[in-house]
Amino acid sequence: MAEPRFLLVRLGALGDIVHTFPAVAGLCETFPGAEIIWITHPRWKFLIETSGLASQVWTTETRSFASLRKTIKELRNANWDAAIDYQGLWKSAALPYLGGIKRRIGFSSRTIREAGVPLLYTDKVDCTTIHIADQNGELSLRAGARNPVAPFVLRISETDDHGIRDYLEKLSLDRYVIISPGGGWRSKCWPPERFGQLSKLIRDSFGLRCVVNYGPGEDDLALAVGECSGDAEPVPYNGPLGPLMALLRNAACIVGGDTGPLHLAIALGTPAVAIYGPTDPIRNGPYRSNAIVLRAPNVATTHTRNDQTDPSMLQIQVPEVFAAIRQCLGVSA
């Protein structure tokens, strides 16, 4: 019997793709010889390739009509056993639908936030689990996987590993803590001023400097962390994904909110302290790890994207986060 050919759709973003890997690993475990084509945004092609879970990674830009037309044409010119939409948005569900794939697996309306999207699926899955990684696994089960999720390993090239080690050596950084103050929406970000205070506490108490990882549009956050860190001298870092993965894997600990670099670091096995507010760690938190999760009690979960820090994030104080880092590093009080 011929091995199946699956189309997977997960366009972005970083943390969401990391939370899709366990479900795709479950699919690969059952169908080791299957051809798996993963469609994503060009920005995340490298990340998916490091997982080794896809036979090919196709990219498309959903804001470009020419790119979408090319992708749909390629889908129509190939034979597929099934498509799995792990994203659950109109833009992701439309690709296998317009590509003429007969069997299209996705979430039911109980799980999806955009109304009407399940109309484009032939198989609508009512999820019984809570964490998004496990919900993704339920889609893999519907496609025939024996287990919903399975372990996976992200590969870091020797070039990236040696490059980041040379970078750290020049800064005389042997052991360090990574601070990740960003998070896409500012409402789920802990104030950068508090990260700065935390950086000073870490330097004064443990003798460790912090590396402040920041992404596009987050320069102001990195600057604010540095300005509020006194003489702690945190190192700002904004590098490509490959070296970032090496940096994350070699860190003693990472502390950040519900953000892609945090989930990536956890997938690489780095100890973590996760600061949560408007998003629910039960659904979107660290997956199957020993990460320490901090969240104020009785917080209302919301995915509304605001430019101001959510009040729930302000309830988490610097001493509480510092105590969690101490625990994470295995240092007694």
313 and 192 fall within a common domain: yes
Long-range contacts of 274-278 (CB under 8 A, 24+ apart): 275/190, 275/313, 275/316, 275/321, 276/188, 277/187, 277/188, 277/190, 277/310, 277/312, 277/313, 277/316, 278/187, 278/188, 278/302, 278/303, 278/304, 278/310, 278/312, 278/313
How confident is the model at residue 1, as a pLDDT? 56
The whole-angstrom separation of Cα 173 and Cα 262 is 20
Q: Tell me: the pLDDT tens digits for 158-181?
A: 999 999 999 999 999 999 999 999
Q: Is residue 153 part of a domain?
A: no
The whole-angstrom separation of Cα 17 and Cα 132 is 11
Q: Is residue 181 part of a domain?
A: yes
50 and 183 fall within a common domain: no
How confident is the model at residue 333, as a pLDDT? 67
78 and 181 fall within a common domain: no
Cβ proximity of 138 and 127 under 8 Å: yes
Cβ neighbours of 240 (radius 10 Å): 10
174 and 137 fall within a common domain: no
How confident is the model at residue 307, as a pLDDT? 82
Three-class SS of residue 278? coil
Whole-number CA gyration radius for the chain: 21
Cα of first residue to Cα of last residue in the chain, in angstroms, is 61
β-strand partners of 198: none
Cβ proximity of 214 and 182 under 8 Å: yes
Q: Is residue 151 part of a domain?
A: no
114 and 171 fall within a common domain: no
How confident is the model at residue 285, as a pLDDT? 95
Cβ neighbours of 141 (radius 10 Å): 18
How confident is the model at residue 306, as a pLDDT? 82
Which domain CATH number covers 202? 3.40.50.2000
How confident is the model at residue 300, as a pLDDT? 86
The whole-angstrom separation of Cα 311 and Cα 299 is 9
192 and 285 fall within a common domain: yes
91 and 178 fall within a common domain: no
How confident is the model at residue 28, as a pLDDT? 97
27 and 118 fall within a common domain: yes
- Residue 281: name the closest of 130, 151, 127 by CA: 130
The whole-angstrom separation of Cα 250 and Cα 175 is 8
Half-sphere exposure in the Cβ direction for 174 (13 Å, CA): 2
Q: Is residue 81 part of a domain?
A: yes
The whole-angstrom separation of Cα 159 and Cα 34 is 30
Cβ neighbours of 207 (radius 10 Å): 8
Q: Is residue 148 part of a domain?
A: no
Q: Is residue 35 part of a domain?
A: yes
Last residue of a domain, one of 142, 168, 183: 142
**Number of domains observed in the structure of the chain:** 2
Three-class SS of residue 49? helix
Q: Is residue 91 part of a domain?
A: yes
The whole domain housing 212 covers 159-329
Q: Is residue 150 part of a domain?
A: no
318 and 170 fall within a common domain: yes
- Give the residue ranges of the chain where pLDDT is below 70: 1, 333
